[in-house]
Amino acid sequence: MHRRQFIGTLLAAPWLAQAQSDALGMRLRAGACVVLFRHAQTDPGVGDPPDFRMDRCSTQRNLSAEGRAQAERIGQWFKLRGLEPSAVKSSAWCRCKDTADLAFGRHRVWPALNSFFGEYRTRDAQTAQLRAALEGMPAGEFEVWVTHQVNMTALTGEGMAMGEALVLDVTGTVLARSTFV
């Protein structure tokens, strides 16, 4: 076996994925961090239709069937490890609330997580709120925040796929990137 094949085999080994999963679980148990999720997979499109209304999910771009299943798998990852966030906060958009509810069975809308896509005037204020909340995360607790790509990029400088998450410490440093499935 060539060295490259051997290394590829090691990297694909199930025990390695389990070890990474266990390390992530231990990190979340230590607390003083946030799991920052981009909402799960949606119906095709970018943004929302021009006539969307926050109070009517039928006017928004919503989770696809795969997105709903993805959110449920995320929740299973946490349940299987006995990990319970101290809070689950969400953008007011239905795709974020649905992701939170399907994964964790609850959410509290937090306007700091609302999308500012196409209207960036609130970006700096919202990002400052997120940074301030991160700084106050106590040891032994972690929160889950469900939001949008633009919010995640403003806070971390990173791009995320739908359903992907970053684990951030109190300084906003990215500790891990995961799909939690």
Judged against a pLDDT cut of 90, whether residue 7 lies above it is answered with no
The answer to whether residue 5 is domain-embedded is: no
**CATH code, domain carrying 54:** 3.40.50.1240
The answer to whether residue 22 is domain-embedded is: no
As for how many domains the chain has, the answer is 1
The pLDDT of 109-128, averaged and rounded, is: 90
The answer to whether residue 16 is domain-embedded is: no
Q: How confident is the model at residue 122 (pLDDT cuts 50, 70, 90)?
A: confident
For residue 62, which of 102, 119, 113 has the smallest C-alpha distance? 102
Q: How confident is the model at residue 12 (pLDDT cuts 50, 70, 90)?
A: low
Which residues, in sequence order, are CB contacts of 90 under 8 Å at separation 6+? 96, 97, 99, 100, 107, 108, 109, 110, 113, 145, 146, 147
The answer to whether residue 14 is domain-embedded is: no
What are the pLDDT digits (tens) for 54-77?
899 999 999 999 999 999 999 999
The answer to whether residue 20 is domain-embedded is: no
- pTM for the model stands at 0.87
